[in-house]
Amino acid sequence: MSYFDPIAPISYEGANGDNPLAFHHYDAKRQILGKSMAEHLRLAACYWHTFVWPGSDVFGAGTFDRPWHKPGDPMQQAKAKADAAFDFFSRLGIPFYTFHDTDVAPEGSNLTEYANNFAAMVEVLEAKQAQTGMKLLWGTANVFSHPRYAAGAASNPQPEVFAYAATQVFHAMGATKRLGGANYVLWGGREGYDTLLNTDLKRERAQLGRFFQMVIEHKHKIGFNGTILIEPKPQEPTKHQYDYDTATVYGFLKDFGLEHEVKVNLEANHATLAGHSFQHEVATSIALGVFGSIDANRGDMQNGWDTDQFPNSVEEMTLVVYEILRAGGFVNGGFNFDTKVRRQSSDPADLFHGHIGAIDVLALALERAAKMIERDTLATMKAARYAGWDGEFGQQVLTGNFTLEALAAEAAKRNLQPQHVSGQQEALENLVNRYVYG
């Protein structure tokens, strides 16, 4: 018996259907701008929230009655969890999944047990992938949950903790390569500080930079052809994290000579916690040449923490997909649902409801964004707004033909009296709404 019986494989039934366990907008094979929906979106479900989280919070115990959470032999429970996970992925009909090392294997009491348990479970995952056709979008190491990482991993005051984290990343990178992962994520869950009273910022930043350099060195040594990703987040659980947002990460990468080696894995909820829109973070990463992959979720405007809810705004996601399409789409990345059902949503079917709704939102966003691309009025208006910089005078300014003194003289000679030109924000907002809701 499967935990998800009697839920049938999820299929596309069209916008007029009323089956809650069916896609109403996501038709995996539908062609849009020369590619199928599946190829554009590259959907993935995560292991941790979906199969590891027991439905607990800081005020209460778990509410989910999952068989693999019950007491028993840790390795047997890990295998039961893998059975349920790949059964779920297959019924949902998505092509990718994602995991942390300790999501899939028990950590054990020491590094030897950790390595042996993880190696055994990688063999299980490899067999599951061959059986189901599932692929790994990315792997990563959990170097933030265990008490040893209370003060960070790479940024920890103790070099022994740094070395322990490096060991986990070593094994997780090897597993990701073996499983054909398209990316490897460096998620610095506690790489930050709670107070400056006991923190040496310069030292911790240097440690973090060296850790990332070691990862890149190892990537090339083992011949991993995927993309190394950093996932920005501003705070929570720490007061401040060193990977605050895309711009901060880019500056960090430049400082340590990694800007051509590492890209970003962007999460919607992290963007809003940093005071940005999700579109801003995507557009910024594209402008800086570090766009990699997406963790698709949302926060709650009434909560100031990372709630990891399923995305449900077609308007928000249309603008995000528009930016991605204009940049040429994903290379190795995709839309990973770093999402969890609510603590009260404890039925097995609730896991499907959450993912189905989010996938349909992305399908609608893709459809709307494609229409915006086909007649790209936004791009046309932007080009017109900056046209002066493409002209002779603008190019002379940008290419260094003027010193500051010479430019001041040129402005006086030409008696420049530039006038304000409307940015037409409201007209553009109305245009976007016509695409989204029309």
Q: Which two tokens stand for residue 145?
A: 């949950």
Contact (CB, 8 A) for 290 and 258: no
| CA 50 – CA 73 distance, rounded (Å) | 21
The secondary structure of 17-81, three-state, reads CCCCCCECCCCCCCEECCEEHHHHHCEEEEHHHHHHCCCCECCECCCCCCHHHCCCCHHHHHHHH
The closest alpha carbon to 264, from 277, 248, 275, belongs to 248
Residues sharing a CB contact under 8 Å with residue 350, sequence separation 6 or more, in sequence order: 341
CA-to-CA distance for 331 and 289, rounded, in angstroms?
12
Active site (catalytic) residues? 100, 103
Q: Give me 412's structure tokens.
A: 């006086």
Instruction: Name the DSSP class of 310.
Output: P
SS3 258: coil
CA 297/CA 49 separation, integer angstroms: 12
CA 139/CA 98 separation, integer angstroms: 6
Distance CA 224, CA 287 (A): 26
What helix, strand, coil percent values describe the chain, rounded to 5? 50, 10, 40
Nearest one of 343, 273, 281, 279 to 313, comparing CA atoms:
279
